[in-house]
């Protein structure tokens, strides 16, 4: 299959198993910088999209009106803190968006207005080209432009003629230039990137205003962010909870009026009068009960999740894809570049029929000196490192290049009176050469060759023929696919999360099995053709599984589109980038594993903060209910287990806690909760303990501490 033939960017060392997904810490200045945005978001025409906070805003307006009508310290303090609650919620979203905005600014710089050199009536190989200058935004789908060294590529497209080195740092941040050439899988170019040398002809594949950079800007800014399925479901639940609490608070009024009427001797308080619970206290109770914490942070969590991907140079084209990444059951990974380093390397020389090891090494190195393929270079290097053989200058040599017909390469060395022919290549081809040149082949060679194949390596047989002697086989080179460091640990971690990894390779089943065993993947698909990949995805999905894969070639496009999470490499073709729902700007296929972790972390953060938010309510009841009714039913003072100073201070403390907890949790919402891969039960137990039990206890402590301060507020 074609996709495995490409070598990955050399600059990607196998990252040292990042078991924890993290993002940058929150800079306090970010909060202050985002304040204007947060205030702008108070506009009810936009805030209504967040029903929980919209209710808080209505409550804030209501309490402000009441405070103006009957100004007391208590009323005004409550009103101010209710407004702060809404502002804090907006702040969370603004900060999350602010990070994306900075990223978008950088991208906008790349989107300079360039003048394109459009070619009219271009045909392949045409001698005379009719060229005109048009502004880049005027380019249409299908236009053909020419770009030369030093010029900016005016739009996304595919190279249809020529080869050039391109600086893509504007979008990837990677300064090393990349090669783009017509045909094959490295033909896609992105508008805004710069051609460094040579000349290419590009066919534009974007519509005006829909370039890759345009889409990236929209994405990181969250311009048309849509709620993900899981977010929608959570919103429904939060709305239901809000309605229940609205009912619980609203229906309290007639009960309170009755209670007050039954005990006429009890004095009226700031909380309870003969007309029932005062408006300010009712609103306070409502705001404390409805799930404001998660309501305030929900969209920030989503934006921050996308942002965490962007920081890793992955662009998710939809939030849905990020969420799906957390649910993935099966990872399809191309062997080359993902699991193995990408180049086969010589790891062992095995001599046969009593040949000296050194002789074999020498012959192997000589035959490879002119071989510029990575495999050939690795033979030279192995001989040097293992046997101390230096590269030498050869006086007279006739290099025999590799061809698909001969399936071997080699050299004819001409010394005075002697011609030494050395050949290295596929065992069948070389052994045939030996027989054709008077030699005979022993069983020993066949045994070694089979052994190498069985262990997952590629055997190359080395043979020589000296003048006047029959040809003979010297030994076998073991070319191995070297598995990247740390892959086994990563796959083990995935397995604990219930994710099955499947290696896709064009190798024969024998080799594939050996490499799969060494890397620790669960399964492999050998001799895979692009349509096999598609079939495998469909089969997995048929069983209800979600599949993630990476790909770059045009023939990967259908599979990328079919997969639930399709990560296209930025080096790939535009077809692949169109088909996938994520693009990895670094073109590092191993990143799929990180993407899955980020998706999981996003879901965990949502669940943890929802649990925390609901658990918080218990303490607030213990603060507010006795405060409201202790005047009529003194026995309810037993519920005041925090021993709060006064009813007014108790209610105020609960409201203040409710507002402050939002700000306190913004960093957590942006960063995501700590995530270490483990079994579902272990993760659940930990998160339940921290966010469930912690969520019950934290507000008891917090409200008490706030009360210790608030009680000294004059006039309360």
Partner 1 sequence: MSTAGAGALFIASLAVALAVAYRPVGDYLYRVFTSRRHWRVERVIYRLVGVNPDGEQTWRMYARGVLAFSAVSVLALYALQRLQNHLWLSLGRPAVRPDQAWNTAASFVTNTNWQSYSGETAMGHLVQMAGLAVQNFASAAVGIAVAVALVRGFARSRTTEVGNFWVDLVRTCLRILLPVAVVGALVLISAGVVQSLSAGRDAHTLAGAAQHIPGGPVASQEIIKEFGTNGGGFYNANSAHPFENPTGWTNWIQVFLLLVIAFSLPRTFGRMVGDRRQGLAIAIIMAVLAVGSVVAVNAFQLAHQGTVPQAVGAATEGTEVRFGVPQSATFAAATTLTSTGAVDSMHDSYTALGGAGLTANMMLGEIAPGGTGSGLYGILVLAVITVFVAGLMVGRTPEYLSKKLSAREIKFASLYFLTTPALVLVGTAAAMSLTSARASMLNAGPHGLSEVLYAYTSAANNNGSAFAGLNANTTWYNTTLGAVMLLGRFAPMVFVLGLAGSLAAQRPVPASAGTLKTYQPLFVGMVVGIVLIAIALTYLPALALGPLAEGL
- Partnered with residue 146 across adjacent β-strands are 117, 201
Closer CB to partner 1, 91 or 608, in the complex: 608
Query: How deeply is 477 buried, as exposed, middle or buried, from its count of CB atoms within 10 A (0-12, 13-18, 19+)?
Result: buried
Residue numbers 101-130 binding partner 1 by CB under 8 A: none
Residue numbers 144-183 binding partner 1 by CB under 8 A: none
Q: How far is the CB of 614 from partner 1 (least distance, A)?
A: 7
Torsions phi, psi for 519 (to 5 deg): -80, -20
* Cα R_g (the chain), whole angstroms: 34
Q: How far is the CB of 435 from partner 1 (least distance, A)?
A: 54
Q: How far is the CB of 598 from partner 1 (least distance, A)?
A: 10
Q: How far is the CB of 227 from partner 1 (least distance, A)?
A: 10
Q: Is 353 a catalytic residue?
A: no
- Only one residue has tokens 């706030």, namely 706
- Which residues fall in the annotated binding site for Mg(2+)? 552, 556
Residue numbers 528-547 binding partner 1 by CB under 8 A: 543-545
Among 86, 152, 568, 603, binds partner 1 (CB under 8 A): 603
CA 306 to chain centre: 8
Q: How far is the CB of 256 from partner 1 (least distance, A)?
A: 7
Kindly give, in sequence order, each residue whose CB lies less than 8 Å from that of residue 227, ignoring residues fewer than 6 positions away: 235, 302, 319
Q: How far is the CB of 588 from partner 1 (least distance, A)?
A: 22
Closer CB to partner 1, 257 or 482, in the complex: 257
Q: How far is the CB of 489 from partner 1 (least distance, A)?
A: 16
Per-residue b or e along 524-548, where b marks 16 or more CB atoms closer than 10 Å to that residue's CB: bbbebebeebbebbeebbeeebbbb
Closer CB to partner 1, 402 or 621, in the complex: 621
- Using CA atoms, how far apart are residues 534 and 441, in angstroms rounded to an integer? 43
- Using CA atoms, how far apart are residues 148 and 151, in angstroms rounded to an integer? 6
Kindly give, in sequence order, each residue whose CB lies less than 8 Å from that of residue 553, ignoring residues fewer than 6 positions away: 2, 3, 185, 530, 572, 573, 576
| CA end-to-end distance (rounded Å), the chain | 77
Residue numbers 496-535 binding partner 1 by CB under 8 A: 496-500
- Using CA atoms, how far apart are residues 2 and 506, in angstroms rounded to an integer? 9
Complete DSSP assignment for 108-150: HHH----EEEEEES--TT-SS-EEEEEEGGG--TT-EEEEETT
3-state SS class at 337: coil
How many residues of this chain bind partner 1 (CB under 8 A)? 76
- Only one residue has tokens 């020993």, namely 444
Among 410, 411, 465, smallest CA distance to 440 is for 465
595 lines the binding site for partner 1 (CB under 8 A): no
- Which residues fall in the annotated binding site? 371, 375, 402-409, 424, 552, 556
Residues composing the chain: 716
Q: Where are the alpha helices (DSSP H) in 129-227?
A: 169-172, 212-221
- Which residues fall in the annotated binding site for ATP? 371, 375, 402-409, 424
495 lines the binding site for partner 1 (CB under 8 A): yes
Closer CB to partner 1, 375 or 522, in the complex: 522
Among 137, 522, 633, 664, binds partner 1 (CB under 8 A): 633
Kindly give, in sequence order, each residue whose CB lies less than 8 Å from that of residue 555, ignoring residues fewer than 6 positions away: 1, 2, 3, 530
Residue numbers 215-244 binding partner 1 by CB under 8 A: 229-230, 232-234, 236-237, 239-240, 243-244
CB neighbours of residue 604 within 10 Å: 19
Write the binding mask 610 to 629 for partner 1: x where contact by CB under 8 A, - elsewhere. xx--xx-xx--x---x---x
- Using CA atoms, how far apart are residues 305 and 326, in angstroms rounded to an integer? 11
Whether the CB-CB separation of 182 and 212 falls below 8 Å is answered with no
Residue numbers 247-286 binding partner 1 by CB under 8 A: 247-259, 262-263, 285
Closer CB to partner 1, 259 or 315, in the complex: 259
Closer CB to partner 1, 584 or 617, in the complex: 617
Closer CB to partner 1, 40 or 685, in the complex: 685
Closer CB to partner 1, 565 or 579, in the complex: 565
Q: How far is the CB of 274 from partner 1 (least distance, A)?
A: 14
Closer CB to partner 1, 288 or 559, in the complex: 288
Residue numbers 647-706 binding partner 1 by CB under 8 A: 675, 679-681, 683-685, 687-688, 691-692
Residue numbers 314-373 binding partner 1 by CB under 8 A: 323, 326-327, 329
Give just the sign of the alpha carbon dihedral 326, 498, 581, 675: positive
Among 204, 575, 595, 608, binds partner 1 (CB under 8 A): 608
Q: Name the DSSP letter for residue 415.
A: E
Q: How far is the CB of 691 from partner 1 (least distance, A)?
A: 7
Residue numbers 394-423 binding partner 1 by CB under 8 A: none
Which residue out of 143, 158, 185, 334 is catalytically annotated?
334
Q: Provide the annotated active-site residues.
A: 334
């Amino acid at each position: 299959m074609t996709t495995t033939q490409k070598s990955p960017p050399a600059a990607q060392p196998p990252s040292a198993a990042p078991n924890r997904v993290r993002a940058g810490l929150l800079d306090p200045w970010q909060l202050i910088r985002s304040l204007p945005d947060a205030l702008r978001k108070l506009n009810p025409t936009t805030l209504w999209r967040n029903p929980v906070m919209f209710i808080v805003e209505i409550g804030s307006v209501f309490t402000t009106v009441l405070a103006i009508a009957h100004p007391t310290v208590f009323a005004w303090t409550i009103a101010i803190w209710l407004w702060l609650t809404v502002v804090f919620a907006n702040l969370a979203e603004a900060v999350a968006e602010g990070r994306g905005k900075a990223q978008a600014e950088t991208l906008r710089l790349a989107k300079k207005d360039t003048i394109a050199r459009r070619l009219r009536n271009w045909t392949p190989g045409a001698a005379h080209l009719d060229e005109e200058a048009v502004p880049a935004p005027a380019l249409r789908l299908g236009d053909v432009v020419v770009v030369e060294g030093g010029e900016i590529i005016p739009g996304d497209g595919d190279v249809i003629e020529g080869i050039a080195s391109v600086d893509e740092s504007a979008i990837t941040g990677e300064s090393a230039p990349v090669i783009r050439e017509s045909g094959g899988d490295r033909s896609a170019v992105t508008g805004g990137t710069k051609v460094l040398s040579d000349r290419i002809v590009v066919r534009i594949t974007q519509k005006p205003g829909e370039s890759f950079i345009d889409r990236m800007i929209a994405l990181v800014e969250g311009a048309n962010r849509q709620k993900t399925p899981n977010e929608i479901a959570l919103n429904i639940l939060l709305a239901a909870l809000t309605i229940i609490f609205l009912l619980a608070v609203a229906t309290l009024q007639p009960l309170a009026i009755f209670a007050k009427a039954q005990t006429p001797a009890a004095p009226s308080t700031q909380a309870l009068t003969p007309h029932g619970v005062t408006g300010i206290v009712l609103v306070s109770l409502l705001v404390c009960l409805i799930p404001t914490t998660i309501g305030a942070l929900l969209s920030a969590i989503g934006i921050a999740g996308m942002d965490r991907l962007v920081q890793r140079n992955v662009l998710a084209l939809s939030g849905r894809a990020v969420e799906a990444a957390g649910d993935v059951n099966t990872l399809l990974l191309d062997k080359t570049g993902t699991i193995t380093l990408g180049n086969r390397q010589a790891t062992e020389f095995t001599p046969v029929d009593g040949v000296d090891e050194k002789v074999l090494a020498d012959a192997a190195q000589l035959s490879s000196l002119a071989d510029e393929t990575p495999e050939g270079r690795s033979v030279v290097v192995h001989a040097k490192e293992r046997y101390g053989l230096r590269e030498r200058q050869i006086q007279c040599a006739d290099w025999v290049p590799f061809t698909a017909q001969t399936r071997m390469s080699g050299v004819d060395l001409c010394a005075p009176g002697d011609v030494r022919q050395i050949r290295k290549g596929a065992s069948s081809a070389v052994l045939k050469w030996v027989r054709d040149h008077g030699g005979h082949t022993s069983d020993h060679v066949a045994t070694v060759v089979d052994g190498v194949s069985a262990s997952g390596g590629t055997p190359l047989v080395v043979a020589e023929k000296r003048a006047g002697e029959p040809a003979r086989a010297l030994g076998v080179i073991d070319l191995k696919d070297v598995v990247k460091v740390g892959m086994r640990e990563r796959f083990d971690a995935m397995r604990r999360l219930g994710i099955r990894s499947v290696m896709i390779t064009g190798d024969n089943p024998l080799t594939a099995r050996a490499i799969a065993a060494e890397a620790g993947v669960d399964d492999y698909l050998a001799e895979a053709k692009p349509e096999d990949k598609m079939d495998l995805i469909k089969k997995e999905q048929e069983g209800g599984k979600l599949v993630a894969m990476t790909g770059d070639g045009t023939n990967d496009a259908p599979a990328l589109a079919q997969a639930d999470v399709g990560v296209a490499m930025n080096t790939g073709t535009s077809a692949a980038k169109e088909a996938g729902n994520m693009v990895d700007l670094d073109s590092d296929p191993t990143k799929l594993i990180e993407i899955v972790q980020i998706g999981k972390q996003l879901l965990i953060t949502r669940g943890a903060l929802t649990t925390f938010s609901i658990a918080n309510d218990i303490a607030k009841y213990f603060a507010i209910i006795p405060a409201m009714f202790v005047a009529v039913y003194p026995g309810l003072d037993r519920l005041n287990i925090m021993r709060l100073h006064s009813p007014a201070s108790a209610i105020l403390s609960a409201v203040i806690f409710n507002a402050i907890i939002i700000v306190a949790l913004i960093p957590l919402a942006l960063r995501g909760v700590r995530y270490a891969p483990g079994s579902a039960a272990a993760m659940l137990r930990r998160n339940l303990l921290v966010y469930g039990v912690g969520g019950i206890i934290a507000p008891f402590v917090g409200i008490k501490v706030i009360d210790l301060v608030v009680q000294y507020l004059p006039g309360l």
